[in-house]
Every structure is written in structure tokens, then in C-alpha cells.
Chain A
């Protein structure tokens, strides 16, 4: 069931087009991510949903009703700010109660709901502290509690993990997912961090230059990028541009590379091969599709990354192997992959 329906939304700031006819559907109860580099328009879209910004054109519907006609303070949409924006002159419980007090709920109910949500985020003991007496992770929990306690239809999270150090991050990541399951609220997280988006979201919209490039589940986004931008932005990829032929992708200077069938022959396309799909082997006659020289080997514990220079290709080809790499810098290797392990992307021309 569609909760939010965004259609043809554009927004310009002077000469800059922040959003260029964006269309998106966000489903009831899902964990949705808006992912893109800074300046891609994701924050503007978030501010439009929250009501801090109006689009120049286009419509936003919530449950089929016009959301843009409702002023920010009456929308059933709550936002967890990147800076948390906690009221510094109020205690934790006052901060959390603020939104409920605006609904003119009975005091007893407010106290009960604030107590319950503080327990959920594990801050019962800190209820009377001021924000500056809390750690970064605790402040974030307050911000989250303050937004969730209103039981909004839609919860927006602006770069929710970016300000936290690594340890707290993964903890908070799990907690966000757990919370989303528990409360059943639709979450929309805005982030430039693909790991954050991939690990949290059910579906991700990748944005670039004010446009939506692709909307898909994380696995599909990773395995079947549909635009060159997505292929380059999501994870590491080896990209080759050439012409589609019956046998694969014909690349100038490299020959025909294995590519999945299905694209129109003769057209220009981009082939994306994940480093972990690449096999390295000894150089013997007829082995492999490319020849390369190992430039660098880096060991990451679980995996090793091998960078290869391939004559005729201007960028290094990256291969990932489990555990320790069995090749050394300077070695000549044969590079190969299965046609079905690669993704063929047709650039819009």
C-alpha cells in the first residue's frame, strides 16, 4: 500500500536545480532510504516532506490527500534532525513531551507515553538531564524518542548515524531496525553513506543531480545497477564501456568481454563487474579474458584486494579474494569472470 506518493516534484534555488521532476512511491511500513552524494537533492526532498520547503511544481500525496496543503506543524510527519536539534533549555523528558503537549493530550497520558518511549530507547535514568549532559549516542536516542513518541505516519531521519563513532553506529543501526519493526512506522532515512542505506533500508532510491536514478531493494541495486551512476556509486565496480555484440561486450583495445545476454545488439553499453566476481589465474594459453599485472595487494582481514593494471584499460581493475591473496605485486595474471556475474548497463544517450 502506498503511503507517500511523490510526483513530478521540482525545486530550483536561483540557478541551481535541487530537484528535477522527482517521482517516488513510499510504501506503508517500509524502511526507505534516499541515498546520494551531497547536493543530489535528497535533503531538499526531505525538507519538502517535513513542510519546511515547498516545491515549485509537482505533488506530494499522503494516503491520497495533498500533503503540501498542510502546514509543517500539522503534518503527521516527524523528523529526526541530523544535528538532533534538541532544546538545550529543556530536560530530556521535557524535550520528548514537547510534541505531545502540543497535541493537548492529558498530562497522565503524556507522562505515560514519555516514560514508555524513554524506556524503549534506554534513557529512563537520564530523564531529568539536560541535552548537554548526555553523550552523542544518548542525544541521538532523545532525538529519536522525541520523534517517535508522536506516532507519526512517516518518520524522517536525516543522516541518522553520521555523527556517531563506529562502535555506537552499528549498535544504533540495529536499534533503528528493531524500533522500526516494533512501532511499525514508515521510516525514510536520508544518507550519503551507502553502507548505512544498504544495511537499514528495505528499498533505496539513489539520487543524483536532483533526479532519481534507480529505486530498488539493496541486493538488486548492488547486483543490477540500471544506470552508469548507480553502477559507479554503489560499491566498488569495474566498469567497461563498449558495443553490445552477440558474444558479449566489444571494448576498444580489450576485445570481447563476457556479458549477460539480453541487451539490444549494436548499442553502446557499460559492463559492470564486481571485484568479488573476478577470478585470477595463472597465465597459460587461452586462459582468461584479460591479462594484467598485479600493481598492489591490500589485506583487509577477511578479504584481500588486488589491483591490476590491464593494457588497453585506463583504470586499474580491482579483484577481491577471500582471505590472503595468492598473488604478489608484479605477477602476470589472467583475469576472468562469468558472463552472468556481470551487469550490463545501458547509458541513456
Chain B
């Protein structure tokens, strides 16, 4: 019996490896290896025409403290945070209403939410240029009302609008699933105990949907922070976000080590966020 046990344990491990293997291998090759490369680049000197020279140095990290780059990072975080907040304020009521629709209309509403994803992301972003430019329909409308023309395109506002448009569904979907899962009897119990609908929302619905709120915020904040297409197309290149900076270091400045440091900084912010989200979700969701 005892003699057989190691063989059985080995067999079990082999079985597990066989099932987890392919997915694990894919992640190892295409996530961990690039990440390790980026990590290793950060400590070496830049090559003349890209690449790295394998001489250790600490100056790549030191450059991160340069106000020039720090401002870009802070500015990006600010725009991503504004986008996330607006997405939450717009997305929560939408998700809440969808969750309370009759089953048939729920499907229709959810399809409508993800419908924009069926069109190419660039085309949708170009559509915003058409909408917002000085002769576009929005400005014509404002002009007709005697309010315009206003400079809309190539502003921070345009960037936020574009990011919001792109990532709002990523806020609505997790919120929807969080609100949908709530037992409607909890709302009834709250009313039965004397709470007006607004009180029920603040004391019962919102706290219990907090995990969904946090997930939605991470889903919107993460790609907003890293996006470099929207700032370029709708911001006109006037506002440089972290995403642009990383790309430019690699492709234009040919400074791979510093590009890696910037990329690492973004990853660090996101990992910190994910930990915060996991911690808050566990706290909020205890017993839910």
C-alpha cells in the first residue's frame, strides 16, 4: 500500500499537468517570458539603435523621477480616474435598470451594451473625430443654439469622452451581474423595516454590489491608463499619456530600457490596484 502511494501521487500530478499544461504553457511563453524580458531590460544601458547593452545601470529608474515624465504619469492617472468615475456614475443606473428589466428585455439591453464591440475600435474612434471637429454635428448644433463653435476635438475632454465610450460596457457588465445577483427579498426586507427606496439603495443595494463596482472600476481604469490610440486621435497628440510614452520610447526614441521602466511603472500601479480590489471585495463580500 505505502509503496504504491508515491506512484499514485506522481500519476495524479502528471494528470493535472496534462490538463493544465497547454493553458499554463501558453501563459508562460506569452506573458511571463515577455514580462521577464521587460524586467531585465530595466537594469541595462540602452543600445544605440534600440535593444540593450548588457551593462548594469540604475539611471533608467532615476529618470522616472524627472518631472517631465512624472507629470505624464500623474496626468494619465488623472484622466483614467476621471473616466472611471464617469463610467461608474453613468454605468450604475444603467446596470441597475437592466437588472430589473423582464428577462426578455434584459437580453436585448445587454446585447445593445456590447453591440459597439462588433465594430472596429479605430473606426469608432474616428467617428468621434467626425462628431467633435469644429464643423461636426455637435458644433453645428451648438452654433444653431448660439453657443458655439467650441473647441471640442483635441482636448482632454475629448480623450475622456473617447475612453468613456470605449470602456463603458466594461463597467456596465460586472455591475449588472452584481446587481442581478442580489436577492430581491433583501430590498423588500429593507422596505418592510421602514426604509425609503433611497435608503434601501445606500444601505443594502450599493454595499452588496460593491464587488461589482470595484471590478468595473478596475476594468475601466486599467485599459484607460494604458491606451495610446485615443489620446493620439482625439487628443491630437497634445496630451501625452503613459501609453504614448511607452510606445514612443520603444519605437521612436529607441530607448528600450526606459520604455521598460515606464511599462513596469504602469504594471506596478495596476497590480497595486488589483490587490486593493481583491482585498476590498473580500471585505465587502464576506458572507454575501
Contacts and interface: CB of A to CB of B under 8 A. Distances in A.
B14 interface: no
Contact of A73 (B185, B196, B204, B286): B196
Interface string A94-137: 00001100110000000000000000000000000011110000
Interface string A46-81: 000011100000000000000000001110011101
B57 interface: no
B287 A132 contact: yes
Interface of A: 50-52, 72-74, 77-79, 81, 83, 85-89, 98-99, 102-103, 130-133, 146-147, 150
B249 interface: no
Given A73-B194, A98-B195, 5 more contacts: A52-B188, A73-B192, A73-B197, A79-B192, A89-B208
A83 B287 CA distance: 15
B288 A85 contact: no
A78 B188 CA distance: 11
Contacts of B287: 88-89, 130-133
Contacts of B284: 89
B191 A85 contact: no
Nearest to A76: B194
Which applies to chain A's interface (DSSP): helix, strand, loop or mixed? mixed
B186 interface: yes
B190 interface: yes
A99 B193 contact: yes
A98 B203 contact: yes
Contacts of B186: 85, 87
B207 interface: yes
A78 B207 contact: no
B190 A98 contact: yes
B185 A85 contact: yes
Contacts of A86: 189
24 contacts: A52-B188, A72-B192, A73-B192, A78-B193, A79-B188, A79-B192, A81-B189, A83-B183, A85-B188, A85-B189, A87-B186, A87-B204, A88-B287, A88-B288, A98-B190, A98-B193, A99-B193, A99-B194, A102-B193, A102-B194, A103-B194, A130-B286, A130-B287, A133-B287
Contacts of A83: 183, 185
Smallest CB-CB A-B distances: 10 pairs? A102-B194, A99-B193, A132-B287, A85-B189, A85-B185, A130-B287, A88-B287, A88-B288, A72-B191, A73-B191
A89 B288 contact: yes
A74 B193 CA distance: 9
A46 B195 CA distance: 19
B100 interface: no
Nearest to B207: A89
B199 interface: yes
B226 to A, nearest CB: 33
A79 B284 CA distance: 26
Interface string B204-215: 100110000000
Given A85-B188, A102-B199, A150 B193 contact: yes
A133 B190 CA distance: 21
Nearest to A83: B185
Nearest to B192: A79
A135 B58 CA distance: 59
Contacts of A88: 208, 287-288
A83 B199 CA distance: 22
A98 B188 CA distance: 13
Contacts of B189: 79, 81, 85-87
A72 B183 CA distance: 18
Contacts of B190: 87, 98
Given A88-B288, A89-B288, A132-B287, A81 B195 contact: no
Contacts of A147: 192
Nearest to B288: A88
Nearest to B189: A85
Contact of B192 (A78, A132, A133): A78
A130 B183 CA distance: 17
A205 B196 CA distance: 32
A131 B287 CA distance: 7
A166 B183 CA distance: 27
A150 B188 contact: no
Nearest to B199: A102
With most chain A CB atoms within 10 A of its CB, the pick from B191, B192, B197 is B192
Interface string B255-288: 0000000000000000000000000000010111
A77 B194 CA distance: 10
B235 to A, nearest CB: 41
A144 to B, nearest CB: 13
